[in-house]
Amino acid sequence: MDDERNAQDEKSQRTEQYIETGEQAGSDVSANAKDSDNGIKASGNVIRTGDHEETSGFSIPADKASLERVVHYRSARKDVFKASFTSLSFLVLIPILGSLYSTVKDFFPDETVTESLVLSWLESWWVTSLIILLLILISVGLGIVRTFVKYGDFQITSDDKRIYITKGMLEKTSFSIQKDRVQAVKITQSLMKRMLGLAEVELTTAGSLGEASQEINTLYPFLPVKEAYRIIEEILPSYHVTEEMQRLPQKALWLRLLTPSWLWIIVTGVLAYFKPVLFGVEQAWWMMSLLLLGLILTGRVVNFYHTRYALNDQFIQFRSGALTSTQFLSKREKVIEIKITRHPLQRKLGLASIHTVNRAKPVMHHHVHDIPGDVANAFQMWYMRRSNEVQIR
């Protein structure tokens, strides 16, 4: 009877690669794994690192696979095309061209032969145009293929306890994130992603491994912004993304513009000492100093207009950044520490900075500067109510 039961169990099992994010730290490498939720044992190679568990080549019973999952997102072909441009995958051709040029130089030991060969190609405008067009088409094609291989057939699903992500065309990769381990949500937009209305959503989990785990905790990095907000609220029903956030007061802009830049001061001092000549212009050093100052002030203005904050019943949410903007969202019970700071100029203008700390490995710090003083006081009172939500052990 035992042999028949074992044979039936083996029939109902399926093999898959399975990565779990959000497990207890300090587990050992073993040949047997036991699912903490269902009490099911599976044999195979289990690698636990911090709060990540990667399991390869073992069987999982069908009743685990049959848990009801809701599909929240499935990548379409147009999404992958957008991703291929925003990820700058087409730049992969640059090192290939460098390697090709190095090979040609090795084939012709005399550098003058190589240079004359290249110059002869570039003398004709139509040959030059054809080469440039061909290189652009090849680079775009390589970028699209690379993105399709990595992010094709991307799918986000979830059940009551976990978020599941599957990606890859040639090689399927699946992993999961435990919902109750999510400490915060981070939405990042580069300049190009903002132009295309895309965003990257990252879930920070307790006990994550920093840089190594960020790719694992990242949802599809090329989600449309509205779609990203919808998916966050669907996979994490206890989270709510506020689209209407408060702007900084106008006096915060003047404070940022008048605050000295140590980078500009140091670079200007170095330029004034060496007085480099650029394009035959002896006074180019102060022009370079003014250019740097203009870039710094422009970045501060852009950062001011991007900075937003919102303080709701159970959530704190703020956004900042110049070229790359980052939006942070966390529940009050997940914030383990706060700090309010005021330097002399902020005190004079009635402004303050707030800092938050969330549990992660290493701990995750976020801040927003130059908010009104009354908002900072309200933030402190808001956080004091955390004791009603968190059970102190």
121-144 per-position pLDDT tens digit: 556 666 667 777 787 777 777 777
| d(C-alpha 42, C-alpha 46), whole Å | 10
Q: How far apart are CA 317 and CA 243, in angstroms?
A: 10
Look at residue 250 and tell me whether its pLDDT is greater than 90: yes
Pairing of strands 14-21, 173-178: parallel
**Tally of domains in the chain:** 3
Best CA proximity match to 201, nearest among 244, 168, 236 = 236
* CA dihedral of 41, 47, 48, 53, whole degrees rounded to 10: -70
| CA 369 to chain CA mean position, Å | 22
Please indicate whether residue 315 or residue 32 has the higher confidence score (pLDDT): 315
Q: Please report whether residue 376 resides in a domain.
A: yes
Residue of 180 and 113 predicted with greater confidence: 180
Is residue 287 assigned to a domain? Answer: yes
* Helix, strand, coil share of the chain (percent; to 5): 45, 30, 25
CATH for 331: 2.30.29
Q: Tell me what the mean pLDDT of segment 346-372 comes to.
A: 92
> Could you tell me if 36 and 105 lie in one domain?
no
Q: Are residues 252 and 352 in the same domain?
A: yes
- Residue that terminates a domain, selected from 90, 122, 151: 151
In a domain, 189, yes or no: no
Q: Is the peptide bond before 372 cis (omega within 30 degrees of 0)?
A: no
State the Cα–Cα distance between residues 69 and 92, nearest whole angstrom.
37
For range 69-91, the mean pLDDT = 76
User: Does 13 share its domain with 134?
Assistant: no
Query: Do 51 and 21 share a structural domain?
Result: yes
One domain for residues 93 and 30 = no
Q: How far apart are CA 103 and CA 232, in angstroms?
A: 49
Report residue 386's pLDDT band, with 50, 70 and 90 as the boundaries. Answer: confident
Residues 247 and 360 in one domain: yes
Q: What's at 162, amino acid-wise?
A: R
State which residues form the domain around 143: 76-151
Low-confidence winner among 92-106, 221-235, 262-276 (lowest mean pLDDT): 92-106
Q: Of 149, 154, 177, which Cα lies nearest the Cα of 166? A: 154
Q: Which residues 6+ apart lie within 8 Å of 285 measured at CB?
A: 271, 272, 274, 275, 276
The answer to whether residue 126 sits within a structural domain is: yes
pLDDT for 140 equals 75
**119 lies in the same domain as 24:** no
Which of 115, 136, 151 is the C-terminal boundary of a domain?
151
Confidence (pLDDT) at 347: 95
The length of the chain in residues reads 393
What is the identity of the amino acid at 222? Answer: F
The residue ranking higher by pLDDT, 145 or 324, is 324
β-bridge pairing 162-167 and 335-341: unpaired
Supply the pTM of this predicted model: 0.70
329 bridge partner residues: 185, 317
Q: How far apart are CA 389 and CA 383, in angstroms?
A: 11
**Is 201 domain-assigned?**
no
Say if residue 285 is in the same domain as residue 385. yes
Residues 23-63: pLDDT tens digits? 433 333 333 333 433 333 333 333 333 343 343 333 444 44
Q: Does position 359 have pLDDT exceeding 90, yes or no? A: no
H/E segment holding residue 310: strand 308-311
Q: Tokens 């090689």 map to which residue?
A: 171
**Residue 69: pLDDT over 70:** yes
- Look at residues 88, 119, 151 and tell me which one is the last residue of a structural domain: 151
Q: Are 341 and 353 in contact (CB under 8 A)?
A: yes
Listed residue (132, 131, 235) closest to 177, CA to CA = 235
What pLDDT was estimated at residue 147? 79
Question: Is residue 170 assigned to a domain?
Answer: no
Report the C-alpha gap between 364 and 357 in whole angstroms.
6
The answer to whether residues 121 and 247 belong to one domain is no
In angstroms, the CA 214 to CA 284 distance is 43
Q: Are residues 359 and 307 in the same domain?
A: yes
d(CA 15, CA 225): 35
Judge if 323 and 346 occupy the same domain: yes
Characterize the bridge pairing of strands 52-60 and 14-21.
antiparallel
Considering the domain boundaries, does residue 136 fall inside one? yes
Reply yes or no on whether the pLDDT at 237 is more than 50: yes
The neighbour count for residue 168, using CB atoms within 10 Å, is 15
Residue 340 · residue 370 · CB < 8 Å: no
The DSSP letter of residue 91 is: G
Could you tell me if 42 and 108 lie in one domain?
A: no
